[in-house]
Structure formats: structure tokens, C-alpha cells
Structure 1
Amino acid sequence: MMQAMIFAAGLGTRLKPLTDTMPKAMVPVAGEPLIKRVVMKLKEAGAERIVVNVHHFAGQITSYLAANDNFGTDIRISDETDMLLDTGGGLKKAMPLFDNTKPVLIHNVDILSNVSLKEFYDANRQYGATLLVSKRKTKRYLLFDSEMRLVGWKNTETGEVRSPYRNLSAEDCRMYAFSGIHIISPHTASLMQDMPDKFGIMDFYLSCCDKTVIHGCCKEDLMLMDVGKAETLKDAETFLNRIENKE
């Protein structure tokens, strides 16, 4: 059984003015809200339980899911209306809603891709966590060793390097961009108990990558779009047509 979480609690500031009246998860792409697109992709991959965290215009998401009978899936809501907990804090709060014996696949609500989530989940359950990564250009890269184990992070604009390994040489590492799709094991999730209520998931992974294997998975034919900003939203329908024709 696959279980999954959709990060849908963000404020969606990059999608203003649309998100002045709706949550990012309800922004339509090719006629369907982003939340429906991710739920259906997870359902097709075999997800039997999906947790959705909510904060910004939370009622619009919960009402939409209820009105559509949760699209025939077991969807549970992790309510962050009192305080937005960031990605790591959101996952920590949601963990009691999952079966604590199985890994959780996590998917940002604003990501569209050609990834087979079932294949990704089935092939990477043995690691402490697995991050789907790509070679796209960015300012902030994850650093991996020769065996694709996470060892750090680098901002190429400022030169800042973060790592639990002292004297890490970023130049000797493999550099990849994070995709917003990842898997976390029950053991690694249990390490979040020492984290505060609010924290970023990448801060957590960087804090424990020397204690548990955080694996990087690079899909060579990856087609992925982050539609969390206005300038990419207008190209999303074309992108969907491309990945659907490829598949």
C-alpha cells in the first residue's frame, strides 16, 4: 500500500493576485484545480491514503474534496489554520495520520511531472529518504557523494555551503536540483521529534543526512514544471499536453 502527503498549505504568494481569493491548491490548470491533478496522479499510482495539509483558505480545499467524495480515496486533512508550519513542521504534524510502518511519498501541490510515482515509490523504499532530483539550473543545489547520498547544500549565488560534514568540498560533489517529490521512511520520520514545530523539510534532511541515508534519484528523462508562480502557470497547459503525449 502506498501512502502519500500533498503539501497544500502554502500561501502561494508567487501566484498573486489569484491567491488573494483562493489557495494555490485550487488554482486551475487546463480546467482542473492543482489539488485534483495531484490526487488523481497519486490515486493512479496506488495511493490508498492521502494526507493533505491546509492553511490558506483551508475551507475551499476541504469543501472541494468533500464535494467530490475525496475522488474515491482515503483523504485525511492535517489542519494548520492556526499556524503555518512550513514543509517539515507540516509533515511532522501529519505523521500520526499515517501507518507508521510504511514510507510516505510527499508531493508538492504545484508540481506537474511525467514521473511514474508507483515506480519511484517501489524502487526507493529501502532508503531513509529519497529525493527526486534533476539537472535543471537553479541557485540552490543539493550536494551528493559518488553513491548519490545527500551530504550537503550549496547556494551558488552566495557561495554558502551547508553540511553536517566538516570540511566538505562542494566541488567534489554531484549537484542536483530538488523536484518537490520525495519519500521518507518511518525511521527517518521519527527523527523529526527533536525538531521544532515549524521548520523546512530540507533543513531537516540536511541535519540528519549523516545519520540516515538520504538518497538522490535522478530521472534522466524527467519532465517537470513548478507551477507555483504566475509566469509558469500560463505555460502549464502546453506542458501537460507534452507529458501526456509522451506517456
Structure 2
Amino acid sequence: MKAMILAAGPGTRLKPITNHIPKALVSIDGKTLLEHQILKLKSAGFNEIIVNVHHFADQIIEFLQTKNNFNIRIEISDERDCLLDTGGAIRKAAWFFDDGKPFLVHNVDILSNVDLKNLIDFHQNIDNLATLVVNHRKTSRWLLFDKQMQLKGWYNETTGQTKPQGINLQLYQRYAFSGIQILSPKVFELMEKWNKVFSIIDFYLSCVEKEIISGYTNDEIKVLDVGKIQSLEDADIFLKNCVQ
């Protein structure tokens, strides 16, 4: 199975740590974030992974070389010339996902106890464009789902902005996106007319009228965003108590 790790971000929320290393190489419990993700993917059966790079890209490439790519196929999607945002990054990696099968995309700075095998099974049993892992946790930017857990909109609690504009918030359930998702290869066809740089969430929101984007959640899902300084202090405890 194939997967992508999104590791190109500048790690602004982790400064000053990321003044000298990329976010992907920040260490937690003796392993870099990138290593945590690769090992989790390997244990779930993923043996082909592409990693996008931008900030301190050479350090990430060198790290993978020293680890012998963890004895699986690992490719690099080079964004040093232009950071493409999540949607643009996925589209740039289309050449890698050439087998016509669904694939996983995982943010490098997300720790979770999500069972990736169960997630894959869930996605393969329904006819949808994408499956997004979501849960109830503190956030200011919510994804809005109907009773069938199909994505219908987005809401920024801080600014009051909604997508689509004017959507009735009372009709939908609010969930936080985890940065873990399964995509069907059909996404590449639908992305063709998009600009070079774009958000995957904006892309999904443009598709909700014609395509099914499902939310995947349960009461057991625990997620920690370690892309910010405050969360680094909690990460060791989270790994010991929550990650299986």
C-alpha cells in the first residue's frame, strides 16, 4: 500500500526549534516525528511512502539515507522552489500513486491511536472520494458533517467565516480534522483545473455537492497535534498512554 507524509511545512509554531531543523526531525521519545510516522505506516502494511520536503529539505533527505529508507521504498516530492500547501502537495505526488488504488495521507506532526488498517477497511467499503479522520477536540476551525457523516462545510470559530458562505451551522455536527485521510485516485482528475497552490480542505469543500467525503470517528480516537511548542511537553505522555 502507498502513503504520503506531509512534511514540507516551515514549522512556524515550533520556533525557535525549527530555526535550525525541519519540523519532521523534531525528536519525541527518542525518535523524530518522521520516524514515528514511517514506523506506524510500516506496521499497518504501507511499504511505499512519498515525503514532501521544503524547509531544510536536505536534512530530511539525509536522515532517510542514514536510515536506509527504513528498508522500504521512500520517494521525495521536492517543494524547495515553492511550498504547495496540502492540496498542491498531493497533486504534485500524483505520479507516485499510479496503481489506481486509494492511498493514505498523514501529517508529519500528528500523533494518534488511529488504527490505520480499520481506516482503510472503512474507506474501501464505501464509494466515496475521501475519508477524513476527525474527532472532538479543541480547535477553532471545524469541519461540518451531516447525520450520515458526510462533509458539508467548514467554520472558523474565531473569525465567524463559513464555507460555503451562509451555511446553517445548527444543522451540522462539528468535528476537528486530524490530518489523517484516505483518498481515492479520482481526486487527481478533479484537481486538474486547480491552481498550483491550494488547500486540500478547500478542494474537498468544492466537491461536496457532487462527491461524498466521509468523516471517520469513534469515541476511542485520540489525536495530538505536536506542531506547536505547547504540545511537545505532552507528547511523551501521549505516546505512552494513548498510542497503540
Pair in the same fold by TM > 0.5: yes
AA partner of residue 70 (structure 1):
N
* In 2, Cα distance between equivalents of 1:55 and 1:145: 36
* In 2, Cα distance between equivalents of 1:219 and 1:79: 35
Q: 8 Å contact 1:188–1:212 — kept in the other structure?
A: no
User: Cα distance 1:100–1:194, how it changes in 2: closer, same or farther (>3 A)?
Assistant: farther
AA partner of residue 234 (structure 1):
E
Q: 8 Å contact 2:110–2:224 — kept in the other structure?
A: yes
Aligned to 1:71: 70
Aligned residue runs from structure 1 range 60-209, under 5 A = 60-125=59-124, 126=126, 127-163=128-164, 168-209=167-208
Q: Secondary structure at the match of 2:201?
A: helix
Q: 8 Å contact 1:132–1:219 — kept in the other structure?
A: no
Quick check: 1:16 aligned with 2:15? Answer: yes
Q: 8 Å contact 1:148–1:215 — kept in the other structure?
A: yes
* In 2, Cα distance between equivalents of 1:100 and 1:90: 18
Aligned residue runs from structure 1 range 34-49, under 5 A = 34-49=33-48
* In 1, Cα distance between equivalents of 2:166 and 2:95: 37
Cα drift, residue 205 of structure 1: 0.7
Unmatched runs of 5 consecutive residues or more in structure 1: none
Cα drift, residue 100 of structure 1: 4.1
* In 2, Cα distance between equivalents of 1:211 and 1:196: 20
Moved more, 51-60 or 98-107: 98-107
* In 1, Cα distance between equivalents of 2:122 and 2:109: 24
TM-score (norm. length: structure 2): 0.96
- The alignment's C-alpha RMSD in Å is 1.2
Cα drift, residue 212 of structure 1: 1.1
TM-score (norm. length: structure 1): 0.95
AA partner of residue 45 (structure 2):
G
Cα drift, residue 157 of structure 1: 2.5
User: How many positions carry a matched residue from both structures?
Assistant: 242
Q: Secondary structure at the match of 2:192?
A: helix
Unmatched runs of 5 consecutive residues or more in structure 2: none
Where has structure 1 moved over 3 Å in runs of 4 or more? none
* In 2, Cα distance between equivalents of 1:204 and 1:6: 19
Aligned to 1:223: 222
AA partner of residue 112 (structure 2):
S
* In 1, Cα distance between equivalents of 2:19 and 2:139: 28
Q: 8 Å contact 2:150–2:214 — kept in the other structure?
A: yes
* In 2, Cα distance between equivalents of 1:95 and 1:220: 33
* In 1, Cα distance between equivalents of 2:28 and 2:48: 24
* In 1, Cα distance between equivalents of 2:73 and 2:100: 17
* In 1, Cα distance between equivalents of 2:117 and 2:135: 18
* In 1, Cα distance between equivalents of 2:188 and 2:172: 26
Q: Secondary structure at the match of 1:189?
A: helix
Cα drift, residue 232 of structure 1: 0.7
